[in-house]
Amino acid sequence: MGIYYTKPEPAPKPAGGGGVSLSKVTLTKSAPTVSLTKGSGGSGILRVNLNWNAKPAQPQKGGFLKRLAASAGGGGIDLDLGCLYELSDGRKGVVQALGNSFQAKGFGDTPVISLDGDDRSGSNAGGENMSVDLSQIEAIRRIVVFALIYQGTPNWAEANAVVTLTPAEGPQIEVRLDETDPKAPICAIAMLENVSGQLQVRREVKYIHGAQDVLDKTYGFGLDWRPGRK
């Protein structure tokens, strides 16, 4: 269950006219940010992948967690990848499977953010994937990438989720959900922000006690929400 944004805004018409050498960068509490310049992945398509363990260990027979998991569909965890976004022209919205909000348009009809699909089980080896078109970086103000446990107990520890951002050039950027909160159905994973024409990626891993509207209030987007299902 969850809620989805209900007031998508039309895209406007087009107007006239720190490098890293490692193969993978893992963002941590002590080193939470990295910047993508044009020479280190700050152009082209940025791929955002969410992967997780769909089948957590089964609890003891008759246990409370087992009953909850069974009611959610056989013990599997259905994680959804999504994002809140704010564009440079002031438009705001959400990209997520709920409400079939799979794209955010940049300037004109070209998507600046696209969600590939919805992996209901986590059994897809490719996980869930989102694309950010950094050739339109001037259209981006900020993007908050989040994961939502749509079904199943918020068992983040056993889900062992990880988000990997793969730029067109340069090292991958990894954010592991290595902190847990069994009462939180949503985790804000990373903030992508346009800072003087460069994309800054900052680790968040902030667990939200509530649905997308609470996530919205936490980051000050100010969208309108209503209940929804996939």
Would the pLDDT of 195 be above 60? yes
Would the pLDDT of 100 be above 50? yes
Instruction: State which fold the 21-222 domain adopts.
Output: Lipoxygenase-1 (2.60.60)
SS3 for 104? strand
3-state DSSP percent of the chain in helix, strand and coil, to 5 = 15, 40, 45
The residue ranges of every structural domain in the chain are 21-222
Q: Which of 52-56, 59-63, 189-193, 212-216 has the lowest mean pLDDT?
A: 59-63
Structure tokens at 224: 């309108």
Q: What is the mean pLDDT of residues 113-118?
A: 84
Q: Which of 19-23, 71-75, 91-95, 195-199 has the lowest mean pLDDT?
A: 71-75
pLDDT at 126: 78
**pLDDT-based confidence at residue 72 (cuts at 50, 70, 90):** very low
Give the whole-number percent of the chain exceeding pLDDT 90: 53
* pTM, two decimal places: 0.81
Most confidently modeled range among 33-37, 47-51, 226-230: 47-51
Phi/psi at 131 (5° precision): -120, 140
pLDDT at 157: 87
pLDDT at 155: 84
More confident residue, 50 or 108: 50
pLDDT at 20: 42
d(CA 158, CA 54): 9
d(CA 130, CA 136): 15
Strands 172-176 and 24-26: parallel
Alpha-carbon dihedral sign for residues 222, 225, 229, 230 = negative
